Structure 1
Amino acid sequence: MDELDGPTTPSKKAKRLNKYRKEWANTFNWLAKDNQKARCKLFKKSFSFIYGGLGDIKRQAEGSKHKKHEIVLKQNKTLQSFLGREEVMDSQQEKILASEVANVYHTVKHAHSYNSLYCSSQLLAVMYPDSNIATKTRLGRTKASMIAFNVLAPFSVESPLCELSKGVFLEFWNFFGISTDASNHRSAKLFPILLRYYVPSEGVKLFLLDYFEDPDESANGIYTNLKTRIQHAGLLLNYISCYSADNANVDFGRLHSVYQLLYKENNKVLAVGCPAHMVNNSVKNALAKCRFDVETLILKTFNQFSSQAKRCKELKDFFNFVDLEYKTILSHVPTRWLSLFPAIERLLNIFPAIKSYFLSQEETIPIAL
């Protein structure tokens, strides 16, 4: 008997890839689609279901981390619990709610702390006891953070996205430019995504779409994060008008860069370098033609008064003499090129007093000055 006639091992069947089904969200209210993966809304993490399908969804729901987040969510009070149990708020409740939201917005805009907001709300209740709104406004740290994260933050993104979605019917509305740049926050490297678009009635508008963390800072990583978040917002890559970033090879390299990857998706996208760096390079080349070194002038002037209390006292007298409000002299940090312009502007504003001081000290001023 021929060896080839013996029993053969059956070939393995190819695994069938599963697709996301909308009806899953009816059973699991925490489930959402994230491109080719599923996303858990409780602890904001994506996981794959391509091979396991519904089984992967159920395993996710039965996991210890997932159940822990469900318990925490049930224990936390929602924002509505602070506003009363009536289904329809009356005008007085609406005014109290509007007061609380406005106070939180003011706190976030001016980078104040939630502790100061809580203290202010208590102080206003004492100062204005005859005001029903002031006495019933309660803004603790937890409530204020819930309003900021769950009300103001989503609205700041949803509102401009609604304006962009209207551009489907008016094509000159929905084109937008994207900007991003790395920012070190301690050990984390964060990338904010800024979108700039045009509205005929208001002009050019700018808003923060999202931000992501990418420790590798590679072209593929930045491009993938940008593409994922733009598509997740319901926007199309074909409507990107320009890409603006730092003038580095990872962003605008000729062979492989973020711009080249975007250009493959949309060959009409324009490359826009960092405007701040362009201005800095222009000013730097222009200052090279000056007869004196501006940076030396700033640093020498600052050092003249930085640690000399007596000289500062004399300088204040000259401010009074020339009828100017006293302002401290700013220093320039060479590693922070954005600090040069404020230092020059401050020196120009107080130049009459500085000039009068140095003219009275002809024998002791540095030669460079």
Structure 2
Amino acid sequence: MPGKCAFNISWLSKDRYKLWLETEQENDQHARCKLCKKSFDVSNMGEAALTSHAKGTKHIQHEKTARDGLPIQAFFNSTKTTARPASGPGSVSNMSVVATAKQSTLNVIPAPTATAASAAEILWADSHYSYNSCSNVGGLFSRMFPDSEIARQFRCGSTKAAYLNTFGVAPYFKSLLVREISRQIGYVMLFDESLNHELQRKQMDLHVCIWDGGKVRTRYVGSEFFGHATARDVVDKMIPVLEGIGVKNLVQLSMDGPHVNWKIFDMLQKEVLGDVNKSLLNIGSCGLHVIHNAFRDGCKASGWDIKHALSSLYWLFKDSPARREDYTKVTGSDTFMLKFCSIVGLRTSTSAPEHFSYGHMCRHMLKRLLEKISQSPNASHIKK
């Protein structure tokens, strides 16, 4: 004799069932498993029938296959963004990035279509912890949150975290970077080689400088590894990277000064000229050094000794809590000078008007302190 239990629609929203459970259209006292492709009776046992079915050997195997086979796209929401992913092979069309003015990192938003535990594993793998710290973290979460089904299902050891980042999250972020660079009117490629002591190979790091909202941003693109690193070897490694982000938008090649790098510049110049019929801008081996040196020579020509003035403003308050307190009381400002380096002065300093304003406030503070000292009972002793 059939029982009185019927299918409860709220079961569909539970994490333990929503991957495989669906209603049976013709009978409200039955449930259907999408993975096993079979219906079963819930009229007598109710929800316990779902639990009983989930413990079956075949169902466990089907569920494991389904969880492992979910693509990385399933764990991201599709929301309106200013930069929409491009369609085509290898692109991710239903993943989105939320960026705020105060946060330059990319925020991954779990989608409701993905299992909550798998989404949590992706977020954890991308949280910048070391992979070894992920070992046994699932058991820890189960102890910390015994009432959470997500914590109970969480499984993300060091190997799985590395796999998720390497083959899931990283390619997506790389595609965002490539798309951002390809939209630029122009960009500068920076490269430098050094010995990787761990791998015992030469490592060439590639960066790009792009214009972003009135500022120049430097982004890491990737690394290439060599045994021999002749000019031809470097160019052969660099060209595929440039083709991926768009050779036509390349403006300049920035590098340090060895002669082998100038040969690289000449060879790459010929490649770009042949591919897109344009020449690279040549203002020296490193554009930053050229501009910084021009700024330094301008300071010397002015005769104002700006370098020592800016450096002194920094050291005046360095490791001096008393001076900092006096400065804040007198001026009402708690902003202090950054350390000034004459070699890269444009990067480590703020604008000239801010420097002059800061120096004026320092003079005002010293003047007030001298007035205070002159009015103290020990002023005559100090004058002597």
TM-score of the pair, normalised by structure 2? 0.48
Larger radius of gyration: 2
TM-score of the pair, normalised by structure 1? 0.49
